[in-house]
A = this chain, B = another copy of it.
Amino acid sequence: MRTSDKHSKIIEAAITVFARKGFFSARISDIAKEAQVADGTIYLYFNNKYDILISLFEEEIGKIILEVKLLIEKESDPRKMLQIFALHHMQLMEEQKELAEVLQMELRQSNKFMREYRNTKFIEYVDVVSAIIHKGQEEGVFRKSLLPGVFKRAFFGALDETSRLWVLSPDHSYTIDEAARQISDIFTFGIMTASPEGEKVTGP
């Protein structure tokens, strides 16, 4: 097997194994087996176990940021932008459950065991939201009293926690699209300067 990209193969295997067992319980040999590669081969592509996790973060979140920025750029209404962000985030979690689990669980506690690692990619992702809020405030669509720093976290947290539990629990009384719609509606109507009766952002 000469042509296969071992780096990506190992990253993908790591996503699967970390999702199943968590970073600490995952063994290098598990990842190697999943990637159909020898244990030692992994060390030709990564310095150590942490390095796999960090590379995984950087690469995967990088892709996500590119995608969502591209989608949002096409839109000009800040309220619709929020809707798009919500839908994209939730669909992503649905389509890539394993990646979702790794990002949601391991990403957060990574700064606990990797002191020096500052996750700039993650910050960049969440800052997409605060940029939208800022724009909305300048255009007078969103209340000026809103703190974008609070809003971005609240909005992201709402999406993330909802999708996290949606992915975990097997019983689904609602779809991911419904949830995304409900959340962006709650937030949008909540932050509009005008009364919700005025103009509808969502369709009938």
Number of A positions contacting B (CB below 8 A): 46
| A156 / chain B contacts, CB cutoff of 8 Å | 161
- Taking the closest CB of chain B, its distance from the CB of A91, in whole angstroms, is 15
What is the copy number of this chain in the assembly? 2
Q: How far is the CA of A113 from the CA of B191 in the complex (A)?
A: 40
User: Interface on chain A toward B: helix, strand, loop, or mixed SS?
Assistant: helix
* Binary per-residue interface labels of chain A (103-139) against chain B in the complex, 1 for a CB within 8 Å, 0 otherwise: 0111011011100000000000000000000000000
Q: For the complex, is A37 an interface residue (Cβ under 8 Å from B)? A: no
Q: For the complex, is A197 an interface residue (Cβ under 8 Å from B)? A: yes
* Binary per-residue interface labels of chain A (146-180) against chain B in the complex, 1 for a CB within 8 Å, 0 otherwise: 11011101111111111011001000011000110
| A178 / chain B contacts, CB cutoff of 8 Å | 147, 150
**Residue contact B154 to A174, C-beta cutoff 8 Å:** no
**Residue contact A190 to B179, C-beta cutoff 8 Å:** no
Report which of B21, B162, B186, B191 forms a contact with A191, defined as CB distance below 8 A.
B186
Q: For the complex, is A62 an interface residue (Cβ under 8 Å from B)? A: no
| A164 / chain B contacts, CB cutoff of 8 Å | 108, 157
